[in-house]
Structure 1
Amino acid sequence: MRPRRSVTLTVLSGVMLVYALLPLAWLLVNATKTQPDLLSRFGLWFGHGFALFDNIADTFTYDGGIFTRWLLNTLLYVVAGAGGATLLAALAGYGLAKFDFPGRRGVFAVVIGAVAVPGTALAVPTFLMFSNLGLTDTPWSIVIPSLVSPFGLYLMWTFAADAVPDELLESARVDGAGEFRTFFRIAAPLLAPGTVTVLLFNVVATWNNYFLPLVMLKDRDWYPLTLGLSAWNRQAVTAGGDVVFNLVITGSLLTIVPLIAAFLLLQRYWQSGLSAGSVKE
């Protein structure tokens, strides 16, 4: 049986595709322009020359190579923050799904409530707490808050409830396996699709995090890419600061490349994680 085709859905999908790809196309086109072309031909068309590689080189060498420092900082925050948040979400979600203990429903209510609270609402209280601890303007002020992912915990909780059979866990316990060994040897492979899905959400959230570093950090040597590019953009709009405008655009293009690569490399696990549980035998 041939699938039904809907003209309306096709048109809407096309509109959404253009809406999603147009900013990326604008960014790619303008990253190939020289500084004079950007000032005179600012739009969705190429300039007189192709300066993409020159712009990339200038981006990495400008101001003593500070862009490389910001890139390494962002990788540090992603590996420690997003990676740690994913591990904690997997452990906590598995425990909440497979163990019955007093207060379990209360934990569920707290998690659901935490999902509804925007991160910006917690930025100022978090800053005050970290300021009293003397941790502001350090990497810990970014990594530690990133370890808490209520949405990731909820996803792993619901995923683990169906992905890990109780009979399999009981068999491992009968064979004498401890709880941590049971998790890492038996449950973790079954949770891989959901874990990768949560990891992608956490990586994107940490990579694009702007408001928390803006509140926590003053030393630009600890800036992530988002805050560093914002500083360049403020410099670009000041009088005489337009010399770095091409660096802002090229740096923005380089910033999204790792995210695109992560989605493409982990696409198979991500799609299977989203569709898990949709079909019952």
Structure 2
Amino acid sequence: MPSGDTYRPSVNQYPPSLQPKALTKILTRVTLLLVAVYFMFPIYWLMVSATKSDNGLIDSNGFWFAPQTVDGRDAGGFHLVENYQGLMETAAAGGHYWRWVLNSVFYSTAAALLGVLISVMAGYALSKFKFRGSGVVQAAIMGGLLMPIALLSVPLYLLFFQLGLLNNPLAVIIPSAVSPFGVFLGRVYVEASVPNELLEAARIDGAGEFRIFFTMVLRLLAPAMVTIFLFIFVATWNNFLLPLIMFTEPSLKPVTVGLYGMLAYFDPDKGQVLLGALMAILPVIIMFTFLQRYWRSGLAAGSVKG
């Protein structure tokens, strides 16, 4: 076997007592197929609906593309090009659609990068250092996991209003980066991936705490950091209420709030908004596609001892 390759035994190499039964294999595959259909079907519906006009959404089959006419009424046919042109030209968007997408990418990326650093540093401190009040801090973090984030929106608005940071990207980036769930994951991954013996050896060799953290700990936690990054990125991308109350300038809105404004305050073709929603999920899909290998290894960190 070439050096560096990972040995993965096939199922047939296990003894018969450990091999799954035929019925178990069939049920597992059927279950996985149903789960895949359950999660992929809304995306399929969105792809089909994004090609329709308002008349097509009402008169045609919801699970297939609209014909040109239905019972003598105009159903619009394949309306994708018209929907894209309308999305770019509508007064509601004001030419801001791609600006909204870039805003979402910037807010989510900045919050995720800052959140990863905060989560890993806090998790490392809580896991490897004993200090007065650490139990209270951990209890507060667990309490933060149980608190709905919507309850904090009004207090955060009042705080950033006093600081003069409304209509400022920091009003969304900072609250999104400080994630109790990210700190919890950081602590779990540090306990599973950073051995105390390695830290003690580095201290004996004269390395300082900052050097140990930035040159050793961060390398050991790279897969876990990708996992935390993706969680915070998606949470920030899907955040709606916080940017809704923090931003009034159209050019600062993320795509979630921008598309909501098109539906709430104007009367665009619904197909335009659905097309905008479909294109808005592409950056998240691309992010998961390129980082899924590290994400899987991060999720599995600590699952096997030794």
Shift of 1:265: 1.3
Matches within 5 A, 1:170-209: 170-209=200-239
Higher helix share: 1
After TM superposition, the score normalised by the length of structure 1 is 0.90
- 1:248 — aligned with what? 273
Closer, same or farther: CA 123–42 of 1 in aligned 2, 3 Å: farther
The counterpart of 1:123, out of the listed 153, 156, 159, is 153
Q: State the secondary structure of the residue aligned to 1:167.
A: helix
How high is the sequence identity, in percent, across the aligned residues? 43
Shift of 1:54: 5.2
Q: Residue 172 of structure 2 contacts residue 246 of structure 2 at CA under 8 Å; is this kept in 1?
A: yes
- 1:18 — aligned with what? 37
CA distance in 1, matches of 2:43, 2:265: 23
- 2:248 — aligned with what? 218
Shift of 1:138: 2.2
1:280 is the counterpart of 2:305: yes
CA distance in 1, matches of 2:131, 2:228: 25
Shift of 1:164: 0.7
Shift of 1:9: 4.8
Alignment RMSD (CA, Å): 2.1
Closer, same or farther: CA 179–19 of 1 in aligned 2, 3 Å: same
The counterpart of 1:43, out of the listed 40, 51, 62, is 62
Matches within 5 A, 1:3-152: 3-4=20-21, 5-6=23-24, 9-34=28-53, 36-41=55-60, 43-48=62-67, 49-52=77-80, 55-56=83-84, 58-63=86-91, 64-152=94-182
Q: State the secondary structure of the residue aligned to 2:269.
A: helix
CA distance in 2, matches of 1:184, 1:212: 32
CA distance in 1, matches of 2:81, 2:121: 44
Q: Which amino acid aligns with 1:207?
A: W
Structure 1: any 5+ residue segments left out of the alignment?
A: none
CA distance in 2, matches of 1:253, 1:137: 26
Quick check: 12-21 or 194-203, which moved more?
12-21
Q: Which amino acid aligns with 1:59?
A: L
CA distance in 2, matches of 1:62, 1:169: 59
CA distance in 2, matches of 1:3, 1:177: 50
Q: Residue 30 of structure 1 contacts residue 42 of structure 1 at CA under 8 Å; is this kept in 2?
A: no
The superposition leaves residues 137-191 of structure 1 with CA deviations (integer Å, 9 ceiling, x where unpaired) of 3222111211210011011101101201112122222333222221121111110
Structure number with bigger Rg: 2
Structure 2: any 5+ residue segments left out of the alignment?
A: 1-15, 68-76
Shift of 1:10: 4.5
CA distance in 1, matches of 2:200, 2:96: 53
